[in-house]
Structure 1
Amino acid sequence: MKGNSKIFFFIAAIFFSCVSFGQQEKIDSLQAVLKTAAQDTGRVNILNQVSSYLLSSGNYAQCRVYAHKAYLLADKLNFTKGKANALNTTGIVNEMEGNYAEAEKNHKEALLLRKKNTDSSGVAKSLINIGLIYERQGLYTRALCYYDTAMKIRVAIHDQNGVGAIYNNIGVILYNRGNYSAALENYFKTLKIYETIGNVKGVARICGNIALVYTFQKNYESALLYQEKSLKTRKEIGDKPGEAVCYVTLATIHYYLNNSSASLGFYLKALKMNIEMGDKRGTAVIYGGIGLVYENMKDYKNAVKNTLLAKEILVETGDIAGVASYDCTLGNLNTKMKNLKAARTSFAKALKLSAAGGFMEVTKGVYSGMYQLDSIEKNYSSAYKHYKLFISYRDSLINEESTKKTVQTQMQYDFDKKSATDSIKNSESKKLEEIKHGQEISKQKTFTYGGIAGFLIMIVVAGISFIAFRNKKKANFEIQRQKHLVEEKQKEILDSIYYARRIQRALITNEKYIWRALNKLNKKN
């Protein structure tokens, strides 16, 4: 770790001096305005904007500074909306740095302020951010509750972009649970929405998610198709964090294709970008991915080295689920290296953490590793015991996945039912208008032409109103799109973490460790 700290600061310095011209230009412009801005709500908004751009560029230290200034001034002015936005940004930074308790505190305070302001869009955002924090810690049931509440709000306010984002979040949880078919269902719902509303960056992101699922389903042709689409789009729009996401996915695909050299190359590109962004947890999980590649090359020494680097960072950030996963991985590696005592110690550590945290997937992986370790030591009685425990946890996870699918199906039913109800109401309204119009014509034949003329005028007025409404809707959409810019950028940066962490967790839980992780994962469905 000490050697890598020098590399981190060197690359980080280069990165922050190479922020894209367009982004830096916006920051410089806003900072110039701040020099003459009065101490009012306008200044708070500018400070929040600067912190948002700094967040997007990965400059978390300066982002904190500007968000804190915005918070203090907003508090002094009793400007609750500005205060909530500052808390939101601070919460994101804390989450990125692994400070979950502080992040949760920030977002819950922002949630209360947004409820006070009856800011439905903001309330939904805060609910999702809280859900994300629980998701990061493996508390999926809590996360789903927050996502469900946010979904209802976004459907009610007709926020299609937001609805798509929640479907994606639910897909991530289902992915983490190993329910890949259900994850794909949610991802394709998101893709359809994003394509309909023209969310190019969202399309690129969700294509990456789809590619990863196809990879684990051994459908490499489809995986490469969607990943190439994602990478091409991200490069076209100059999305560097998104490129990092693509590199991790490409590393995964090549890992399963047994192309270790290419896989390692893509992981190193992703690692460089995560270090540049100062993202400790993202760096950790990619170290873990690199360890897996070395393991595949039977270079166990480097595999252990990178896995330990990953674990060290997660111990520092307090990611217990991640630490348990890496302890399990170390147990498997030591088993392969015939360091049986060290292997048993690592498995014991992983089991203690996973049992305390309820990380069933890790627990299953531990029992799988332990029964193999017992077999090597010819302790067949213990091996049989651990094998039965492995089967028990495997079956429990399958049943839990079925329950989650039922929950998701119910959510979709509620959404479709509301859409159908709205459609029926519109249809009935139109029929009533037609009946009334017919009755009017039959009763007042004398005024037929006048009625027609009046009707034509009504159409013209309605047409003008519709055009005005459409223009207003378009303008509102643009405003809404801008409001989601920070949220989208946050998600882009976080995606590299999702991918690497999902890969790491999936690959440590084999039915037989010498099997390819992919074969095991397919059996789960």
Structure 2
Amino acid sequence: MQQTLQAHPTADTTRATILIALTRQLYRAGQHDEALQYAAKARMISRALQYPKGEGNAWVASGHAYLRMGDYDSALAHFHKGHAAFTEAHELGRLADTYLYIGQAYDYQARYKEALEQYRAALNVLEERPHEDMQVRVLNSIGITYFNRGSYELALEHYLQAMKISATFPDKLYYATIVNNIGVVKMATTQYDEALRYFRLYRVAARALKHPQSEAVALLNIGEACIGMKLYKEANQYLDSALTRYGQIGDKRGMSFAEANLGDSYRNMGWFLNAETYYNESIGIAREIHSDEALVKSLLGLTDLYIRMQQPRRAVAPLAEVRTAAERSDAMPWMEKVYLYSSRLDSARGDYRSAYQWFKKYSHLNDSLFNERKSQQVVQMQELYESEKKDKEITLLSEAKKMEELKLSSNKTLLIISIIFFVLLTGLILYWGYIKARYAREVSEQHERISEAYEELKVLMDRVEEQNKMLATKNEALEELHREKDGLISVVAHDLRSPLNRIAGLATLVELGQSLDTDGKELLALMQKVCAEGNGLIRDLLDINQYAQQEALTLAPLNLGQFVGALAAHYTGALEKKQLTMVVRNDRDSVVQTDSHCLNRILDNILTNAIKFSPPGKRIFIDTESQPTAVTIRIRDEGPGFHPEDLTRVFRKFTRLSARPTGGESSTGLGLSIVKSLVEKLSGTVKLESVWGHGATFVITLPRNT
């Protein structure tokens, strides 16, 4: 082809046609970048010659190159431009081609509704301009789409239509491809022996036709069938060969499926690390080419792997991504898997009630999809095709017999009629018996499924009851430990307070009674500070216990503006010591029904922290705001704020945070825990707004009538 191109240097329609043919050769050989270059040259020549048919063919050729690269968005864009060029050139036949190619690109993206719309548009064109070759390709693609959506009956119906038409074609690749697709249906219904037979026939045909991509598909499917038959070593050999072939032709979608199937095989063998590696490689390729179909297969395999590895937390994210893809694509088989694995995941986590709910959803969807009863219909439809072929032969024989029967006597005619009547009667009796037996079998199978589901439900409910008993026992033990803890804290706190007070008193006496040097005074000051900090910690511990045990509140109307203003005045000395300014902006008409002692402690803890952590020269703001049913108090400082890692644990007890007091003050780690406890006791809420390095704002919301 290169020599032909060199022999024809003139930029005319012939050269454009040669460039397009060369593009097709290159992308089929996996040389995608070169293919795109030749397609661009063909478009340039066709556009200069105002040759829309050539330009359309060039767009379609480059679209196929992108399709094999896994760049489905670019493929769609090029196919649409090809469609526009063929519309301009009134090329009706090529319009059907572009509808087919656009549909296939949508199929790879799991956009099944849009794919079916394109295929139906192609069939409409073919009604006006019949073309059996294109009709077979469209019917086969429709079958693939229905299979991906879980409509196996419709898939097989279209496969058989395509098979009937392609049976007479000299090019057997179409027929072989449909044979492979029927094998895929067999595999989906767990008929692995039958599937393997179809796939091997397909491989023989692909090798005879020297079609590398078809052979890669055959190797992939044989490997997957071997997994279903638990022949894992054979499966790995076929899948490794498929991965190599796909790599040689640059088919990333095929590579992703091969990696995912290798993950399935190694997972079933118990080689979990190998399996995880293959799944992650498959997911990486699928994300790169935006293939939901390949991505979902890999994510489901990874989910099952983590459940088997007893790591249910790691299974949550991949399963959630599968559910999103299933909802987006309306793919019922994917959603069926989501329900099944959600049930297994919750069961692994001990949440048997939720597991049972997921299992019910799975069973309902499973019944509506392809079950054993519909598998029988698949067999019948295949037999129908075979019987139609035989009917044609019988018709020809019957015509020949008619010529002979004219020579026979009327007695023979009567005898033949009697035999035919007897055969028909026998056939009707046998058919009635078959229908009755099939109905009885279906009823029996349904009864067995109901019995199995009942037994599973019974086991799950027993587990739930056992879990409830265990939880009740643990709750009682926790309550007892909680009571013991409260009592211990009260005893220890009271026993510690007395020695600390004695130490503080002795330090004061020493300071008053003796003339001390500078070091001695510093040591006494340090002792007094430590005693004060210890007393502060004891006070906080006792307060926490008291607030936890205190049930009744002393509620009374309170003018919030006056209360906050009076409280702010108490901090004048502490503010002047650190050169801080407090700005109070009150709604003085705001009245709230609350416990003034609790509110005082809440605001004191927050304001004390604001003073501790604010550098000299900064400001502290207090704002109150009244709403019809609630009041809001905002306390904002200009200190360092809270580190992002501290935001989730700021209200926990004994929490040491990233920020440190700016004046050497102490912090027990209990102040904000007390704030949260008291605010909730007042039926209010407290939240923190902070950006690290830019201060913090505490927002307290209390109901006006508690």
- With over 3 angstroms needed to count, the CA separation of the structure-2 counterparts of 1:325 and 1:242, relative to structure 1, is closer
- With over 3 angstroms needed to count, the CA separation of the structure-2 counterparts of 1:54 and 1:139, relative to structure 1, is same
Instruction: Report if the CA contact (8 A) 2:109-2:290 is conserved.
Output: no
Instruction: Report if the CA contact (8 A) 2:253-2:289 is conserved.
Output: yes
Q: CA deviation at 1:359?
A: 4.2
- With over 3 angstroms needed to count, the CA separation of the structure-2 counterparts of 1:387 and 1:353, relative to structure 1, is same
- With over 3 angstroms needed to count, the CA separation of the structure-2 counterparts of 1:370 and 1:222, relative to structure 1, is closer
Give the structure 2 partner of residue 208 of structure 1. 180
Query: What amino acid maps onto 1:326 in structure 2?
Result: S
Separation of aligned partners in 2, 1:383 and 1:44: 62
Query: What amino acid maps onto 2:39 in structure 1?
Result: A
Give the structure 2 partner of residue 370 of structure 1. 342
Separation of aligned partners in 2, 1:141 and 1:355: 13
Stretches of 4+ aligned residues off by more than 6 angstroms: none
Q: Greater helix share, 1 or 2?
A: 1
Comparing 210-219 with 83-92, which one deviates more in the overlay? 210-219
Separation of aligned partners in 1, 2:63 and 2:322: 29
| Superposed counterparts of 1:104-503, under 5 Å | 104-391=76-363, 393-394=365-366
Give the structure 2 partner of residue 74 of structure 1. 46
Q: CA deviation at 1:99?
A: 2.1
Query: What amino acid maps onto 2:6 in structure 1?
Result: A
Instruction: Report if the CA contact (8 A) 2:63-2:78 is conserved.
Output: yes
Instruction: Report if the CA contact (8 A) 2:150-2:332 is conserved.
Output: no
Residue by residue over 1:177-234, the C-alpha shift from the partner in whole angstroms, topping out at 9 and shown as x without a partner, is 2333332232222222112132212122222222222233344454344333322222
1:28 counterpart = 2:2: yes
Q: CA deviation at 1:357?
A: 4.8
Query: What amino acid maps onto 2:281 in structure 1?
Result: L
Give the structure 2 partner of residue 23 of structure 1. none
Residue by residue over 1:493-512, the C-alpha shift from the partner in whole angstroms, topping out at 9 and shown as x without a partner, is xxxxxxxxxxxxxxxxxx99
Instruction: Report if the CA contact (8 A) 1:30-1:50 is conserved.
Output: no
Of the three residues 11, 23, 26, the one matched with 1:39 is: 11
Residue by residue over 1:454-488, the C-alpha shift from the partner in whole angstroms, topping out at 9 and shown as x without a partner, is xxxxxxxxxxxxxxxxxxxxxxxxxxxxxxxxxxx
Separation of aligned partners in 2, 1:114 and 1:230: 34
Q: CA deviation at 1:265?
A: 0.7
Give the structure 2 partner of residue 56 of structure 1. 28
Separation of aligned partners in 1, 2:207 and 2:38: 29
Instruction: Report if the CA contact (8 A) 2:5-2:15 is conserved.
Output: no
Instruction: Report if the CA contact (8 A) 1:88-1:110 is conserved.
Output: yes
Instruction: Report if the CA contact (8 A) 1:321-1:359 is conserved.
Output: no
- Secondary structure, in 3 states, of the residue corresponding to 1:78? coil
Query: What amino acid maps onto 2:237 in structure 1?
Result: G
Separation of aligned partners in 1, 2:114 and 2:180: 26
Query: What amino acid maps onto 1:45 in structure 2?
Result: T
Separation of aligned partners in 1, 2:45 and 2:343: 60
Larger radius of gyration between Structure 1 and Structure 2: 2
- Secondary structure, in 3 states, of the residue corresponding to 2:168? helix
Separation of aligned partners in 1, 2:294 and 2:132: 33
Residue by residue over 1:352-374, the C-alpha shift from the partner in whole angstroms, topping out at 9 and shown as x without a partner, is 44445544433332221121121
Residue by residue over 1:306-333, the C-alpha shift from the partner in whole angstroms, topping out at 9 and shown as x without a partner, is 1110001111222245434433322221
Of the three residues 56, 67, 84, the one matched with 1:95 is: 67
- Secondary structure, in 3 states, of the residue corresponding to 1:196? coil
Query: What amino acid maps onto 1:133 in structure 2?
Result: A
- With over 3 angstroms needed to count, the CA separation of the structure-2 counterparts of 1:117 and 1:215, relative to structure 1, is same
Comparing 315-324 with 104-113, which one deviates more in the overlay? 315-324
- With over 3 angstroms needed to count, the CA separation of the structure-2 counterparts of 1:284 and 1:166, relative to structure 1, is same
Residue by residue over 1:210-260, the C-alpha shift from the partner in whole angstroms, topping out at 9 and shown as x without a partner, is 222223334445434433332222222222222112111211222222111
Separation of aligned partners in 1, 2:330 and 2:158: 25
Structure 2: state its 5+ residue gaps. Answer: 382-451, 454-706
Instruction: Report if the CA contact (8 A) 2:22-2:35 is conserved.
Output: yes
Give the structure 1 partner of residue 658 of structure 2. none
Instruction: Report if the CA contact (8 A) 1:155-1:163 is conserved.
Output: no
Separation of aligned partners in 2, 1:219 and 1:358: 26
Separation of aligned partners in 2, 1:352 and 1:237: 40
Instruction: Report if the CA contact (8 A) 2:260-2:297 is conserved.
Output: no
- Root-mean-square deviation (CA, aligned residues, Å) is 2.6
Separation of aligned partners in 2, 1:38 and 1:216: 54
Instruction: Report if the CA contact (8 A) 1:291-1:302 is conserved.
Output: yes
Separation of aligned partners in 1, 2:352 and 2:193: 42
Residue by residue over 1:249-308, the C-alpha shift from the partner in whole angstroms, topping out at 9 and shown as x without a partner, is 211222222111111111111100001111222111110011111122122221111111
Aligned residues: 376
Percent identity, aligned pairs only, is: 24
Query: What amino acid maps onto 2:270 in structure 1?
Result: K
Q: Greater strand share, 1 or 2?
A: 2
Compare relative contact order (CA 8 Å, sep 6+) and give the higher one, 1 or 2. 1
